[in-house]
Amino acid sequence: MDTITELNLIAKKDSLMSMQLECDVQHEVPAVFFSTPGYTGNFFHEFNDGILPLYITSQHLSSKIVFVILDLHDWWLTKYGNILSQLSDYAMIDFDEDTRTHCFPEAIVGLRIHQELSINSSLMEGNKSIIDFRNLLDQAYLPRIHSLIREEEERKA
């Protein structure tokens, strides 16, 4: 956990000093702030501590959310970008590379988790379950897998 950057946010409505800050980008939807290091590099932890909590935290917003990612690794985005595109209609923000001042109507900092590799449907809006998460994974990866299979079959023909 030593590899995770500390984040400081300013709530404009709560601080006179922050009134001097100007927004370079004004967003109309909330943000979810999270970090990709920590236990990443281990498939179990990537899902248990990252992808599944990301789903739990954001799915109720119906893709009307911006992901702001700290300590983003390119390999992580290559591996999981398809899932992010299913969870958000908006381009994610690489917090370390984007130096503009972004303003959001609200923000969620950190990810929620229920238990190891599980979703408690009673805690989810619309009683979403692990099956709904699995369907999201299918939407994210099956088209890519089908196109790879077609390419392989065409090469063999």
CA distance 87 to 126: 16
For the chain, list residues with pLDDT below 50.
17-18
pLDDT at 62: 95
Q: Helix 130-156 vs helix 74-87: angle between axes, to the nearest 10 degrees?
A: 120
Residue 33 is classified by DSSP as: E
pLDDT at 42: 85
pLDDT at 19: 53
Residue with tokens 């379950």: 129
pLDDT at 10: 81
The dihedral region occupied by 46, where left means phi > 0, alpha psi between -120 and 50, and beta the remainder, is: alpha
CA distance 40 to 50: 8
pTM for the full predicted model: 0.84
